[in-house]
Amino acid sequence: MDDYQLNVTKVLENASKVYGKKEVVSRRVSDGSIFRYTYKDAWERVQRAANFLVDELGVKPGDRVGVIGWNTHRFFELYYAVPGVGAVVHEINLRLSPDDLTYIINHAGDRVLFLDDGLVRLLVESVKDKLKTVEKFVVMSDSKEVDTSLKPAYSYEALMDSAKPSYKFPVIDERSGAAMCYTTGTTGKPKGVVYSHRALMLHSIVAGLPSTINVSEKDAMLVLVPMFHVNAWGMPYGAPAVGAKLIFPAQFYAPDMILELVEKERATIAASVPTIWIMVVDYLKKTGKKVDLTGLKIVFGGSEPPLALMKTLAEMGATVQHAWGMTETTPLGTANIIKSYLEETLSEEEKWQLMTKQGLVAPMLEVKIVDETGKELPWDGKTPGELLIRGPWIAKSYYNDERSKDALLDGWFRTGDIATIDPEGYVKLVDRAKDLIKSGGEWISSVDLENAIMAHPGVKEATVIAVKHPKWQERPLAVVVPRDEYKGKLTKEEIIEFIRPKFAKWWLPDDVVFVNEIPKTSVGKFDKKILREKYKDYKLPTAE
């Protein structure tokens, strides 16, 4: 049998032939209006882009090509054109600080930088003098004129117009790099992860299986995950692989605009961090608007969705699902489906409790939990240990980074997550290792406390951090954002009493502080690093 190379361009090429009439819908960055074309149209533009990458921009195999922009059809085209010519598409997080933005562009060694016009262009212009490797800039907008201080600069659409409409893509070693992202962890500099053609192809196939996210030709996928974040969770590859429609929101994440896309484009799958849907639910409560989300499956990742949020969305008609992954896992690691015999035997509340877990390991992957010595721990649903994972799309190292030596344990990737695995194989994350609260020698899960607090009807958001304690080493401090109608009314005592039945007494937070907003990372997770710094000298009432 021939050694057929798995190259990502084959995904879109096939979609253009088999699902050529299927739509790709994108809001325009300039005004939020709708642009739409088909997979057949997209494939021609990808070929044009490949031609101008090589002929006009001088991109060579192995080069890193940076893209900094919102979720649009142009970014989608570069997902295929750049790796198609043998280069690596570096998806750049535009929400990073200027220092981190400069660091990752220089560290990756990006030779060409594609950027959206508008605020993104202004951001790049502000750091241009610190970019050591970028030789050419391409501005992405509807205009064929370029107005920027970046030099030399090209118009994406002007390049597209002048390029030939067909390109013979070379056969590329499937183990060579196709895409690249940097982690957005809250400790140290971002770490680069390179994804091979093989990893992306296998991931896109498995992510669509019924035992994971279950994507088919009938679906319309709303890509709410930023395209700079772990390949938008693989959706721009996974949807065309099965002929599903794609919907890109650009930068327009206001709840009403998300709901408009869901309704008008008949979205059936939307994947994002819980924060997005917390905002949507809050908007609906404030405005009194009613929506019917029947037919929409919402896939949560990034952090555990509060059970109250999942139930609220289900009451609106949506199907909800919890999945887990990391930048280093491409990202799908686990997905939560309820096994058929458990559907028949579990009560409704037991099913909900099961659905909060991160789920079952994806096909082709392996997981285990270990103690501090590396000893494997039992799958009993009780014993916590560090979660390790391995498989064909799991990172083996970081890009040009000495921290790679700490990433693996005997060939298994160390996630830094503390988890249990039950006898059925369901993974439950207890916490990030660095977020666990060690009180009197015992561990307290901040995640469990957060989700319990967010079930209170007056709570919009909540997070829990460790604060130093003279007797117990650390104790939990809850940081809470009340809903507007509860501001000035919600009390610490009410929060504690609400969650008291769910926890042992020593788990309960020693104090609750109310704030207007919880700081978030560039990908929408609660930024506990900022909170730990802010409250490092906080004096708990029990510390006296």
* 424 part of the active site: no
User: Which of 474-511 are b and which e, b meaning 16 or more Cβ less than 10 Å from the residue's Cβ?
Assistant: bbbbbbbbbbeebeeebebeebbebbeeebeeebbbbb
Token match 């721009």: residue? 236
CA atoms within 13 A on the CB side of 476: 26
Q: How far apart are the first and last CA of the chain?
A: 74
- What is the percent of the chain with per-residue pLDDT over 70, rounded to a whole number? 99
CA atoms within 13 A on the CB side of 100: 19
What mean pLDDT is predicted for residues 142-151? 96
* 420 part of the active site: no
Q: Note the pLDDT of residue 188.
A: 78
Residue 368 host element (H or E): strand 366-370
Q: Which two tokens stand for residue 209?
A: 């299986």
**What's the mean per-residue pLDDT of the chain?**
96
Q: Is 65 in contact with 78 (CB distance < 8 Å)?
A: yes
CA distance linking residue 501 with residue 395, whole number of Å: 41
User: Quick one: DSSP state of residue 206?
Assistant: H
CA distance linking residue 221 with residue 388, whole number of Å: 30
Catalytic one among 130, 382, 438, 487? 438
Catalytic one among 368, 443, 474, 529? 443
CATH number of 9-272: 3.40.50.12780
Give the CATH class of 319-433: mainly beta
3-state secondary structure of 76: helix
Higher pLDDT residue, 95 or 247?
A: 247
Q: What torsion do the CA atoms of 83, 84, 86, 91 make, to the nearest 10 degrees? A: -10
Strand duo 385-390 + 412-421: pairing: antiparallel
3-state secondary structure of 267: coil
Catalytic one among 9, 183, 463, 521? 183
* 443 part of the active site: yes
Domain 436-543 adopts which CATH fold?
Answer: GMP Synthetase; Chain A, domain 3 (3.30.300)
CATH code 2.30.38.10 region(s) in the chain: 319-433
Q: Is 324 in contact with 427 (CB distance < 8 Å)?
A: yes
Give the global pTM. Answer: 0.89
Give the distance between the most distant pair of CA atoms in the chain. 75
* 72 part of the active site: no
pLDDT at 178 over 70: yes
Whole-number Cα distances in Å, 38 to 44, 82, 201 = 10, 20, 21
Catalytic one among 13, 174, 304, 328? 328
pLDDT tens, residue by residue, 97-145: 898 999 999 999 999 999 999 989 999 999 999 999 999 999 999 999 9
What mean pLDDT is predicted for residues 205-223? 98
pLDDT tens, residue by residue, 273-322: 999 999 999 999 999 999 999 999 999 998 889 999 999 999 999 999 99
What mean pLDDT is predicted for residues 6-20? 99
CATH code 3.30.300.30 region(s) in the chain: 436-543
CATH code 3.40.50.12780 region(s) in the chain: 9-272
Whole-number Cα distances in Å, 262 to 267, 285, 295 = 5, 18, 10
